[in-house]
Structure 1
């Protein structure tokens, strides 16, 4: 039996995010590989949705590690006690193909060697997610063959604004912001107000995101079958 993919994210405070997440869920289901149930909203609503889905289920974060604090908190609050038919997967992290897509977007935006780069992450309460952000910056730096500074939107220092200002002041360089976020919304709009040379769009829409979420589902399916 093919497990149902339950996509989890917070969409409670942002209509644009809500629309983008639903588009993503439809795109994943459109591949025909697995039934998909969107579980979007605050923790209580997400738990109600998960409880209503008959197993087996693969519970897949619809966000990137360190890229969506609100969704990470919702995911951490999932109640899967007694659900032996449920397999949660980690959020997408330093996947080389996704980082390569970010590098392509920077080049498409006009980035060249000598320009500054800030990886804009949201922040998280989980040290593992913070390490994932560090790993993303390291892989992106290797692909660009240029330094990448991490900046945070919420919760941690340095902020994205501080990182952009520091690069502009110390290097006198153009500064590009690489958005480490799966879907758009108000937080991404805030990045565009910082005065950077360019801000790359969130990772979705991109078919690579669908590919990677389905790979998460396949891994969960294998664990459930073991």
Structure 2
């Protein structure tokens, strides 16, 4: 893939994981549409499209091809942590493209995601002063992704001024089952609150909802009364990641 420097404009491919869950699709589409609105008039961004790593179409390659012109592109992963999809799948697509393409960092960790997690906790009726808070993530075999989640848990703990245990539905330890069990043993009588560190409704949110916690929050993006529920600041994270990617071109 050719490279250059000093570029001042590019196109943006916002790439989600993809899901067959209609609510998850609507939530991600809602985030993308808000990003399009926020980007209106931006001098550095000339086009943006939504694509997916898996499950849905268009895939990453088709999304890059559909973007206007033949100029450089920034892939912004609509993923909370930088794991295999960011470091391998999306990077491979960038390397294979006829365009100049860079892959930005994932959406998290970010203080605006901490804002969103706090919002979901407030909506659930959780009380950090008395409840035990666990941050439940999908999990990854990629150590960097796990470190991202641990950082996010630390940021939430700082915000709430209480301990927050990271836990995982796959690959990494402790598992959510282990974390909930340990919390019950250590804090008998306290409510166990699972804070969803998942982007949108879908397979992993369904798994999280089956865990034996007392309270389980909605994911970062949600659908409420048929409308996408997008916490403030999320479109701005995408546009910030685009600018960071643009600076690397």
What is the TM-score normalised by the length of structure 1?
A: 0.85
Please say if 1:159 is aligned against 2:175: yes
Equivalent in 2, 23, 39 of residue 16 of structure 1: 23
Q: Distance in 2 between matches of 1:162 and 1:84?
A: 46
Q: Retained in 1: the 8 A contact 2:61–2:97?
A: no
Please say if 1:192 is aligned against 2:209: yes
Equivalent in 45, 59, 64 of residue 45 of structure 1: 59
Q: How far off its partner does 1:123 sit?
A: 1.3
For residue 105 of structure 2, what is the aligned residue in structure 1? 90
Please say if 1:212 is aligned against 2:237: yes
Q: Indicate the SS of the match to 2:233.
A: helix
Q: How many residue pairs are counted as aligned between the two chains?
A: 223
Q: Retained in 1: the 8 A contact 2:79–2:108?
A: no
Q: Which runs of structure 2 are paired with 1:89-128 in the superposition (5 Å)?
A: 89-112=104-127, 113-128=129-144
Q: Retained in 2: the 8 A contact 1:69–1:122?
A: no
User: Could you give the per-residue CA deviations for residues 131-160 of structure 1, whole angstroms, max 9, x where no partner exists?
Assistant: 111111111112212111111012222211
Q: Distance in 2 between matches of 1:77 and 1:60?
A: 14
For residue 224 of structure 2, what is the aligned residue in structure 1? none
Kindly tell me: are residues 5 and 194 of structure 1, through their superposed partners in 2, closer, same or farther at Cα, counting changes over 3 Å? same
List runs of 5+ in structure 1 lacking aligned partners. Answer: none
Kindly tell me: are residues 148 and 185 of structure 1, through their superposed partners in 2, closer, same or farther at Cα, counting changes over 3 Å? same
User: Which structure: greater helix fraction?
Assistant: 1
Q: How far off its partner does 1:167 sit?
A: 0.9
Q: Distance in 2 between matches of 1:76 and 1:221?
A: 16
Structure with the greater relative contact order (CA < 8 A, sep ≥ 6): 1 or 2? Answer: 2
Q: CA RMSD in A?
A: 2.6
Q: Indicate the SS of the match to 2:93.
A: coil
